Amino acid sequence: MILFLICVVALIAGYFIYGAFVEKVFGITPARPTPAHTQKDGVDFVPMSTPKVYLVQLLNIAGVGPIFGPIMGALYGPAAMLWIVLGCIFAGAVHDYFSGMLSVRNKGESVPNLSGRYLGRGAKHFMNFFAIVLLLLVGVVFVSAPASMITNLVNDQTSWHIEAGVMVAIIFAYYVVATIVPVDKIIGRLYPLFGALLIFMSVVYWPPPAILTSTQF
């Protein structure tokens, strides 16, 4: 528990100290309009309120991988937990911030397009291929993991019975629809609600239960 609290303090300190340094290096311009305003098209570029944007980003960051990954890593001892914390401060957070800043300054372009702009066509093709492979792997996890959890919850806690394949189809269909329709119609409405629920559950279940050791698996 002490190590957990130290890690929490380290994350907070990293945000205010190292985060301020990174912000200074990038040289932010608060008055710069974002692509949601300069490229506004009512589909992919739609301005939203600051609270909604923060909650949407919170839910994007705290997805299946970032939640399950640290939990599984912590089960294998302090070394993995420290690696997760230090990696978040000095690698993951900086990478996400850097990617976001590049996109904001280049009309909301994606990483492959940015790679092509600054590194050439070969880098763009490589990043397109890498992105496709990565999205396939992430897509499988982001469909199968929630489907498995919801299926087990419904079958164990209710009198209903649902097949995992059916739930996979439902979740995949939701992803397709949420991607096609304007960003403020589904993502902009549901994600802030889910983000608020995530914060609520984190507060309600504090302090966290004792961490299991690897021998208890």
The domain limits of the chain are: 1-29+66-108, 121-205
Name 74's Cβ contacts closer than 8 Å, sequence gap at least 6.
Answer: 80, 81, 84, 211
Whether the Cβ atoms of residue 195 and residue 59 lie closer than 8 Å to each other = yes
Residue 179: count other Cβ atoms within 10 Å of its Cβ.
11
Mean pLDDT value across residues 24-53: 88
DSSP 214: G
Residue 216 has pLDDT above 60, yes or no: no
| Tens digit of each residue's pLDDT (9 = 90 or more) over 139-191 | 888 888 888 888 988 888 888 888 888 999 998 898 889 888 998 888 888 88
Number of C-beta neighbours around residue 114 at 10 A: 18
Burial of 208 (0-12, 13-18, 19+ CB in 10 A): exposed
pLDDT at 214: 42
Distance, CA of 125 to chain centre: 25
Structure tokens belonging to residue 199:
């914060």
